[in-house]
Structure 1
């Protein structure tokens, strides 16, 4: 039997009961390790939680372990550092590189939003202040420690960390932490099996406790070939003189789409329609793709060719010219759920015209414009204006970088002996509960959907 001092507790400070803001705290022997440190996104009630101080002092956290760089897993790091965290941040080398792009961009957006709020007078607080800024992001980046895959690394406090590939996006990892003889496995965000560009999630054979995501815990992805489905939409849109606007996640999805578009071009499927990548952050992330060939399936020549299929648009004036052009075309622009960024200007321009298509390529969280449009909204509010949506709206969920329910179960099935308990996190309530039922029925495992801020003894 463990002594009280050896007891480990797990507390979700985010990512429990919701699909965003992942932060999972392990405590033992008076030491603290935080797995992921994400921003809340989506519904206003969730976003407001970013401003609520953590229930523990950031300075009391000994280390952070990052599964991957997406904002809902990494985006609170600058705030954590700003508020006193001084420990190391362990992540794969590619995650460190991608995080640098994402966190700098997030700091810039936070500063710009505060500036706009002050200029236009719509801030609740005067003056409006950013949650954090670029300087805070840079301080967080300095704390990263690049961690190899498949090699046990000692953490402050005595825990041992092993990273394995999760697929999903460049650098994404599953996290195995062994502490006081207890093995705790975090899935992070699992990728797809047989994905065109990313590696399969690597199996893990043993775990005492599992913390697993459930983004798509309630559904299966369409099995249609994503290249063919994408080609059909582009062909019918350009045939009627329209433009395809693809709100895209700058890291992961944008690069996957380039690959599928390259395949279509190579097959002569989409004619002469120009393709634009209108996102400085996506362009920077694309540059990293060929720098980390070990983190995906593409050979160097394929990576180069896929990345060259689009015209890169960096400057604002060039983006405006793309919007103004009457030529049928394909525009990839962030953000993936149409919550901000240049894609909003394209939706304002192309959304009201029935010839055009707004094409989403994966999960759309509650409270986002993307969710509203996918669910058939006749209009959406952008920059204070109500914009009619008469364009065709489509979604290709098979392009998602997230494992579906069967793929999650496939990964879990690699664990030879049932864990003592499986915690289901990072999902909307109905998705998490559906996955709980599937795991219990198919694997017979003891599952719990943890509540936010409730400590669970391991």
Structure 2
């Protein structure tokens, strides 16, 4: 078998892994690169392998750095199955369409205002490309084996993180290769904890927060303090937020704060059509998260949903006190950029960063307290207060990752640390060496590694053996998941 790291190597975006073996070529994840310009340019490069040679694509979850390249793959001619969970399918239907519309709008905006170096500016992909990609999605239930051929199969195990998120466990040529995807936190306020892995001969593991432990502070209290301080000076709290997962967590806390009287009754706007649509999906997947139906309904009423561009402009024209939650989470694009242009220069306002900020993004610049950020070709002064609330992260930190891995009784033969900045991945490598005595490695972009398989033949299908192993090793409470509500 051969594993090639087509993305997420030495960076936190662009997840794409090509696994070749058992007469198959399988792509695990198909994400966009985000962050610095040299990374974003990879999205425009030729795909490293002919798409017609791919036999299957398997998604861990719907975030665009894991799924956002699918429309290009479809445009290039891929017509095979894209396997994912039902939650991921439902989220992709919202996210890929929204991403395509946003890219078309931004290209049009750049052409009208002439700030792009390209003549004309073109979208990375179109709504038509996104629709073609969505037709390829084939939903699978959690923990149900799917045979790819006589010598390969896979299953999707709940990973927490966001709706539909999964770890992919592939059985190929007698070996188990696990891809963690983005691993959620054991005590996430909304999502259930990730299911532990029972066994892996080879493991590809995320390392987003491999060099840190999340703050133990209560996120609701942190938000309440930010709101109180900003509202006291009639300011605006601008929250750049990922539309899937993070926006709903913030709305959940806001609903709680308002219900308990810990937050002033000021306007709250969710300026993201995608986030507004995603919020409704929580009512259709109650078996996957901790929220009751009442709580799921509450997050849908915690803010006024801003749908149109004109409504968004009207929000920017308002003054505080108020809260504006808008995408994107790293402030790389979307409507939050226009709000930052309006509200960042005013010292009465606050910019609250509530998620990971990849190097080279506006969010990372704001987290670094730069005096100005570049928006639409101009430098906008940042006089607003900037706060980072790491306790709201939906990624496991290095301690939580280590605890999750302890269910694997026999150390994997090789562990590859991906989806993290170099310092973060290397820190996790050292930590796993010291705590679990596992030897890990950090692959580089486009590196290919050989993974020896096995010629042993047994009477038990490898996916069936993995299922039995999981039943024995996993917490019974985690296996007893309520069914999804459709």
| 1:343 alignment partner in structure 2 | 336
DSSP-derived class of the 1:155 partner: strand
Deviation at 1:247, TM superposition (A): 0.6
Aligned mate of 2:282, from 277, 289, 297:
289
Aligned mate of 1:188, from 181, 185, 189:
181
Deviation at 1:117, TM superposition (A): 4.2
| 1:332 alignment partner in structure 2 | 325
Preserved contact between residue 433 and residue 449 of structure 1 (Cα < 8 Å): yes
Q: Deviations over 1:344-373 (max 9, x none)?
A: 121122111111100010210111111101
Q: 1:68 and 1:113, CA in 2 relative to 1: closer, same or farther beyond 3 A?
A: same
Q: Mean Cα displacement is larger for which, 353-362 or 306-315?
A: 306-315
How big is the alpha-carbon RMSD for the aligned residues of Structure 1 and Structure 2?
1.3
| 1:4 alignment partner in structure 2 | none
| 1:179 alignment partner in structure 2 | 172
Q: 1:431 and 1:226, CA in 2 relative to 1: closer, same or farther beyond 3 A?
A: same
Aligned mate of 2:269, from 255, 269, 276:
276
Aligned mate of 1:369, from 362, 371, 384:
362
Work out the CA distance in 1 between the residues paired with 2:446 and 2:112. Answer: 37
Preserved contact between residue 199 and residue 297 of structure 1 (Cα < 8 Å): yes
Aligned mate of 1:139, from 128, 132, 136:
132
Does residue 114 of the first structure (1) align with residue 107 of the second (2)?
yes
Q: Map 1:94-243 onto structure 2 (within 5 A).
A: 94-121=87-114, 126-155=119-148, 158-243=151-236
Structure 1 gap segments, 5+ residues each: 1-7
Deviation at 1:124, TM superposition (A): 5.1
Deviation at 1:318, TM superposition (A): 1.9
| 1:443 alignment partner in structure 2 | 436
Deviation at 1:115, TM superposition (A): 3.2
Q: Mean Cα displacement is larger for which, 231-240 or 121-130?
A: 121-130
Q: Deviations over 1:178-208 (max 9, x none)?
A: 0111101111001111111111011111111
Does residue 415 of the first structure (1) align with residue 408 of the second (2)?
yes
Work out the CA distance in 1 between the residues paired with 2:122 and 2:218. Answer: 46
Structure 2 gap segments, 5+ residues each: 452-486
Deviation at 1:52, TM superposition (A): 1.0
| 1:398 alignment partner in structure 2 | 391
Aligned mate of 1:46, from 36, 39, 46:
39
Q: Map 1:61-100 onto structure 2 (within 5 A).
A: 61-100=54-93
Q: Deviations over 1:114-138 (max 9, x none)?
A: 3344444555554443322111111
Q: Deviations over 1:286-331 (max 9, x none)?
A: 1111111112110101111222111111122222222222230111
| 2:382 alignment partner in structure 1 | 389
Does residue 298 of the first structure (1) align with residue 291 of the second (2)?
yes
DSSP-derived class of the 2:6 partner: strand
Q: Deviations over 1:73-93 (max 9, x none)?
A: 000111111112111000000
Preserved contact between residue 22 and residue 172 of structure 2 (Cα < 8 Å): no
Count how many residue pairs are aligned between Structure 1 and Structure 2.
451
Deviation at 1:455, TM superposition (A): 1.3
TM-score by length of 1: 0.96
Deviation at 1:113, TM superposition (A): 3.4
Deviation at 1:159, TM superposition (A): 1.8
TM-score by length of 2: 0.90
DSSP-derived class of the 1:432 partner: helix
